[in-house]
């Protein structure tokens, strides 16, 4: 029996239900895979993850867990079949806003330093093209915490608020489980100067596509790790983070606005004291992090405070975990990942695209996989005259195209078959293809591509992700 007002299950609303939110409260709701919830703001100010909702238009959501927050109060109506929906008066948005203002102060200080360094420069174009590591640089913020602690949500809020201040932050996603502006299994970075698309499943927005979009796309730098957890291959993961950091530094060196805005880095939820802390140290060093924000773990905060407090240039802060954060079980994450893969080839519901199927020779495809045993061989097991440096195993290994690749998602790399294995391991992603069928008798394979073109003569990298239509 459900008592009035205590039901945790969602209600199906055929006719729109109106909700009045008081200032600094939020309406939390969850939408299942096969359900849709629509929201229309009638009056006042409302936002999702820092991105403001316009008054009048109808927003559609599916397969998501979100909250609508208001600073000054609002009225909206919703309809659909949510898994759960309720109003919460316990919001952490105040502390998140305070963190944003602290970061904005650092950006203002960086801008002042940059102005002093370039006080003789008159034209803005000259400032932009005179990139120098000696100029003012905004904060590089690393957000870390346990899995399902709200790290990505905080990153979205800080990004949205920075964009509202006419900043252009470099957003870095180091969690391969979710991906950002790309498919699962990737780490990526993109400069954000426009609002995010809150109706997208991942709500970061969209990368460049062949169809029309109502929000400007982002052009991320993407590297393919190939599985959910960095601990699946720590050495390969660290190598990709180092390579991504070089790409970020190159962009910031020539982009004055992005350099002043700094970086917002969303880390993976690996915080154990052995492998997790080692990964944190590597990220802090590679990305020159100067602000570490912990969320949802008091012990983590104190451990890192002791670890980095002697380094005066690194500040360690903590914020509260939102009560609206919910656990993402394995089945839910798989449904999200499947949806992201499907939309890459066929587009989101509001912008349907046409994928193309081509048939090619098996010999035309050069495929590599991540080496599973990429570590230093013990010196006691080395041949006489060898050392640990020469015994380093390659990060990637070439494989034969076989029926095992059927239904696999392959990353198309900016690498040619003649490149070295080291170059292939550090290559960024051009795009993705889906192997539909492999005929060993005819030596043919059928491949799904997002655009109509010939099969790229690039190197392909296979991970653990498969997709069955």
Q: Any binding-site annotation on 443?
A: no
- Beta-carbon contacts of 87 under 8 Å, excluding residues fewer than 6 positions away, are 19, 21, 25, 26, 27, 28
Q: Any binding-site annotation on 40?
A: no
The DSSP secondary-structure symbol of 52 reads E
Here the tokens at position 177 are: 């489980």
Encode 235-296 in three state secondary structure.
Answer: HHHHHHHHHHHHHHHHHHHHCHHHHHHCEEEECCCCCCCCHHHHHHHHHHHHCCCCEEEEEC
How open is the CA angle 77-328-332, to the nearest 5 degrees? 80
- Beta-carbon contacts of 63 under 8 Å, excluding residues fewer than 6 positions away, are 31, 32, 33, 201, 335, 336, 339
Asked if 193 contacts 166 with a C-beta cutoff of 8 angstroms, the reply is: no
Q: Any binding-site annotation on 123?
A: no
Q: Any binding-site annotation on 357?
A: no
User: Residue 37: beta bridge partners?
Assistant: 61, 80
Label residue 369 exposed, middle or buried (CB < 10 Å: 0-12, 13-18, 19+): middle
Q: Any binding-site annotation on 152?
A: yes
Q: Any binding-site annotation on 65?
A: yes
Residue 101, SS3 per DSSP: helix
User: CA of 208: how far to CAs of 23, 212, 409, in Å?
Assistant: 37, 10, 19
Asked if 275 contacts 232 with a C-beta cutoff of 8 angstroms, the reply is: no
Q: Any binding-site annotation on 95?
A: no
How open is the CA angle 408-412-418, to the nearest 5 degrees? 120
Binding residues for ATP: 26, 65, 148-153
Residues annotated in a binding site? 26, 65, 148-153
């Amino acid at each position: 029996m459900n008592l009035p007002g205590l039901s945790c299950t969602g209600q199906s609303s055929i006719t729109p239900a109106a909700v009045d939110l008081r200032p600094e409260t939020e309406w939390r709701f969850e939408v299942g895979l096969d359900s849709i919830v629509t929201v229309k703001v009638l009056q006042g100010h409302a936002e999702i993850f820092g991105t403001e909702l316009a008054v009048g238009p109808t927003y559609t959501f599916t397969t998501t867990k979100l909250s609508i927050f208001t600073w000054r109060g609002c009225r909206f109506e919703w309809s659909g079949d949510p898994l759960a929906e309720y109003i919460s008066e316990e919001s952490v948005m105040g502390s998140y806003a305070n963190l944003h203002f602290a970061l904005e102060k650092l950006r203002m200080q960086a801008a002042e330093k940059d102005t002093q360094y370039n006080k003789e420069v008159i034209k803005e174009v000259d400032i932009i093209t005179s990139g120098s590591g000696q100029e003012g640089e905004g904060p590089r913020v690393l957000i870390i915490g346990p899995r399902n602690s709200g790290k990505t949500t905080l990153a979205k809020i800080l990004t949205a608020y920075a964009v509202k201040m006419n900043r252009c932050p470099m957003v870095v996603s180091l969690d391969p489980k979710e991906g950002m502006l790309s498919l699962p299994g990737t780490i990526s970075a993109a400069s954000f100067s426009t609002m995010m698309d809150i109706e997208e499943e991942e709500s970061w927005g969209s990368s460049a596509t062949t169809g029309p979009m109502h929000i400007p796309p982002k052009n991320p730098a993407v590297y393919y790790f190939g599985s959910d957890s960095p601990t699946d291959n720590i050495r390969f993961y660290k190598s990709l983070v180092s390579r991504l950091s070089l790409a970020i530094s190159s962009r910031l060196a020539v982009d004055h606005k992005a350099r002043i805005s700094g970086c917002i880095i969303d880390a993976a939820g690996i915080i154990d004291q052995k492998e997790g802390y080692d990964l944190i140290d590597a990220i802090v060093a590679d990305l020159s992090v100067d602000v570490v924000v912990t969320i949802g773990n008091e012990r983590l905060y104190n451990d890192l405070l002791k670890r980095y407090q002697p380094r005066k240039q690194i500040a360690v802060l903590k914020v509260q975990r939102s009560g609206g954060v919910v656990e993402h079980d394995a089945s839910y994450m798989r449904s999200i990942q499947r949806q992201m893969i499907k939309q890459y080839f066929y587009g989101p519901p509001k912008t349907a695209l046409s994928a193309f199927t081509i048939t090619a020779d098996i010999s035309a495809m050069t495929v590599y996989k991540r080496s599973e045993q990429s570590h230093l061989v013990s010196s006691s097991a080395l041949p006489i005259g060898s050392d640990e440096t020469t015994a380093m195993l390659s990060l990637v290994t070439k494989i034969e195209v076989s029926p095992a690749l059927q239904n696999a998602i392959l990353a198309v790399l900016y690498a040619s078959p003649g490149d070295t294995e080291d170059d292939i391991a550090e290559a960024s992603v051009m795009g993705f293809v889906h192997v539909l069928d492999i005929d060993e008798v005819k030596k043919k394979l059928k491949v799904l591509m997002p655009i109509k073109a010939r099969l790229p003569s690039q190197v392909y990298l296979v991970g653990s992700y498969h997709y069955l239509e």
